[in-house]
Amino acid sequence: MKAFTGVSRLVLLGFFGSHIIFTLCLDCQAVLPESLFPQALIDLGKYEVETFNDPLMGNARNLLWFQSMVCLELLFQLPYFFAALYYIGDASATSYPDGFRAACIAYGAHTSTTLIPILSTFWAADYNGTTQERVSLTAMYFPYLAIPAWLLWTAATDSSGAKTGQKSD
């Protein structure tokens, strides 16, 4: 797979770097005991819920389907974030190994798929948020659909190894 360069590379580095922070500081509060988190992070989570009226993070302990997605994020996505930073962070790389390309496809497909029920929740008839809250939540969560879907498309359609008839390292 051809290496990311320029703005694409910087966007992905920022996305995965920030996603590690958000996963560890906020998202995992949905499934791990509150006693594991400093009060400042608990307060930050409560602030996000109150500010945006987030029906998922605000009710995560009662939503098994959402908790299962957060568990997948911790078990599958979080290790991938570190691998992505490792490979994409190498500014001298001209290509990535086939294994990383496969991981990008798996990550992109998995994450894009999980975001559909999440985003749908904000627009469901039983969510009592205002239009502004729905739009704000959608805008806040949308990059977690768009960037993985773009990464999936990029990795799945990359034919740089096929053009030369050689496999990437």
- What's the pLDDT at 142? 97
CA 92 to chain centre: 25
In tens, the pLDDT along 43-85 reads 999 999 999 999 999 999 999 999 999 999 999 999 999 999 9
- What's the pLDDT at 58? 94
**In the chain, what are the domain boundaries?**
6-163
Range 4-33 average pLDDT? 97
